[in-house]
Amino acid sequence: MTDLETPVATPPRTGALRRAAPALLGYAAVRALGLITLAVWSAANGKSAHTLLTARWDSLWYTRVAELGYGYEVRLPNGDVHSNLAFFPLLPWLERLVSALTPLSYADAGLLVSTLASLAAAWGIFAVADHVYGRRVGVCAVLVWAVLPIGIVQSMAYSESLFTALAAWSLYAVLTGRWLTAGTLAALAGLTRPVGAAVVAALWVAAIPSFVRDTPTPRDTSYVPNRSARHPDGAPAWRRALGMLLAPLGAAGYVLWVGHRTGGGPLGYLDVQAQWGNGFDGGYAFARFVGDKFTSFPSALAGLGLIVGVALVVWLYVTCLRQGQPLPLLVYAGIVTALALCASGYFGSKPRLLLPAFPLLLPLAVALSRLRTSRSALVLGGVAVASAAYGAFWLNGTGPP
């Protein structure tokens, strides 16, 4: 029987790293290929790969938070104000900590944090996929995540890798009944990106039904109260309840703090985001952006590509539903996808915002795991080369905001 046919139980801690080693080594090889390609491409264009990874776009804003704290803002000619309050604090906190403990600058500290977080994210993705489908699918899932066209973001001083690591391990803790760990990691994810709400929702949809199952029905006269009120996974009710309480503290705490600081009340953070042009409009602005592409022939091809991309994302999610993924994974991936596709703002960043939605990749991992090892390696190797070239081209061009 294959790993796909017989998902394994949670491996002992002593063997967990050994079990994940092929996935982590493959991931490191893909990321090394991407970085080498970026370095060569950047040098040919007279640019610094190091600067592209550490000191442009959002990475520069995170560095400013680490160095100056909150309060820095840029006023645009049209009157809009871009405040660094839009950026959640965990990554700059870690940059400041690492910089204080090492000779690294804040920017280089951010790159180190992102590098380590990307490996932790890869391990977390493997753990989730291994738990649900088996080891072979786990390895394929990590490699598919690594070879995504915008996979180079995983190696930038951005918060995507850190958030994905916290989300993946929180989801794994939910799936294995470690509720306090799940709640703590969800709270940290909520301190990393606004989409941390997806991790909270995933934990809650797993925990709430367990309380319903613990509640006796009126006709159940044989019910004897159990002081520990244990869930089938062995966790006492108080652990589930505490995990649920811990989960939203990170995001809620930061959002409320921003509202207090700006005087905007509980929803003050939304005003900060609105100044950046970000908001949730159900996808109207994105649909209009795609529609505008069909005003001329060259741009119509781009519009068609966007439609195909969105259709692929929707198809992957429907496939996740059909394959019967655990509900926490479906809820998490659904919310991350909805927030990415249905938010207004800079549309070029949407692929990057989808990067943490790794459960969408599990159907592809399942399909790859059914191929012979040589054939799946050939497919992944070819995509890795194309991804490395695209990542280098992308960062040397418009890149992510």
Regarding pTM above 0.85, the answer is yes
Confidence of residue 353 (pLDDT cuts 50, 70, 90): very high
Mean pLDDT of 169-191: 97
What is the residue-wise DSSP string for 290-330? HHHGGGSHHHHHHHHHHHHHHHHHHHHHHHHHHTT--HHHH
CA distance 167 to 198: 9
Which among 80, 141, 135 is positioned nearest to 278, based on CA atoms? 80
pLDDT reported for residue 300: 84
Which among 173, 167, 184, 153 is positioned nearest to 121, based on CA atoms? 167
Among all chains, which residue has been given the structure tokens 């006796």? 216
CA distance 58 to 310: 24
3-state SS class at 280: strand
Q: What is the pLDDT of residues 97-113, one digit of tens each?
A: 999 999 999 999 999 99
Contact 362, 320 (CB under 8 A): yes
Confidence of residue 228 (pLDDT cuts 50, 70, 90): very low
Confidence of residue 13 (pLDDT cuts 50, 70, 90): low
Residue type, 80: D
Q: What is the pLDDT of residues 52-68, one digit of tens each?
A: 999 989 999 999 999 99
155-164, 195-204, 277-286, 351-360, range with the lowest pLDDT: 277-286
Q: Secondary structure of 169-226 in the HEC alphabet?
A: HHHHHHHCCCHHHHHHHHHHHHCCCHHHHHHHHHHHHHHHHHHHHHCCCCCCCCCCCC
Structure tokens at 136: 């072979």
Mean pLDDT of 279-305: 83
Question: In the chain, what are the domain boundaries?
Answer: 27-216+233-395
Structure tokens at 159: 């918060």
Burial class (CB in 10 A: 0-12, 13-18, 19+), 56: middle
In the chain, what percentage of residues exceed pLDDT 70? 91
Contact 299, 342 (CB under 8 A): no
pLDDT reported for residue 289: 82
Contact 110, 59 (CB under 8 A): yes
Q: Which residue has the higher pLDDT, 76 or 308?
A: 308
User: Given a cut of 90, is residue 344 above it in pLDDT?
Assistant: no
Confidence of residue 12 (pLDDT cuts 50, 70, 90): low
Contact 339, 382 (CB under 8 A): no
C-alpha dist (Å) from residue 177 to 10, 195, 236, 278: 11, 23, 10, 36
CA distance 254 to 341: 24
Residue type, 370: R
Helix axes 373-395, 362-369, angle to 10 degrees: 140
User: Given a cut of 80, is residue 319 above it in pLDDT?
Assistant: yes
Q: Which residue has the higher pLDDT, 303 or 364?
A: 364
Mean pLDDT of 263-286: 88
User: Given a cut of 80, is residue 225 above it in pLDDT?
Assistant: no
Which among 363, 355, 387 is positioned nearest to 165, based on CA atoms? 355
Q: What is the pLDDT of residues 322-332, one digit of tens each?
A: 999 999 999 99
pLDDT reported for residue 382: 97
Mean pLDDT of 298-304: 84
Which among 341, 293, 298, 297 is positioned nearest to 316, based on CA atoms? 341
Eight-class DSSP state of 360: G
Supply the mean pLDDT for the chain.
90
